[in-house]
Amino acid sequence: MKSKKYTIEQVNEILETQGFHCCTCNNEKNGKTCFGIDTIQVALEEDCDYFGEFVGNEKIGYIFKFYVK
């Protein structure tokens, strides 16, 4: 199944519209250094656990992944 890709503008709009809190990890993917790829972790609000992340960059787009335990 192909994942939907989002532009950084779409990611920012989603975060703002939903009022989500986010943290950007530059040059990181799956918790490891990955130059050129960023992870934008998403939480319902500040001081909450992150429930997912947008992974990618402005050139290739961002894919959203839910965290599953």
Q: What is the DSSP string of 8-64?
A: HHHHHHHHHHHT-EEEEETTEETTEE-TT-EEEEEESSTTS-EEEEEEEETTTEEEE
pLDDT in tens, 22-55: 999 999 888 889 999 999 999 999 999 999 999 9
> Model pTM?
0.89
Where is pLDDT greater, at 1 or 65? 65
Q: How many CA atoms lie within 13 A of 49 on its CB side?
A: 5
Determine the Cα–Cα distance for residues 69 and 65; give it in Å rounded to an integer: 13
Kindly state the helix (H) or strand (E) to which residue 6 belongs, with its residue range.
strand 5-6
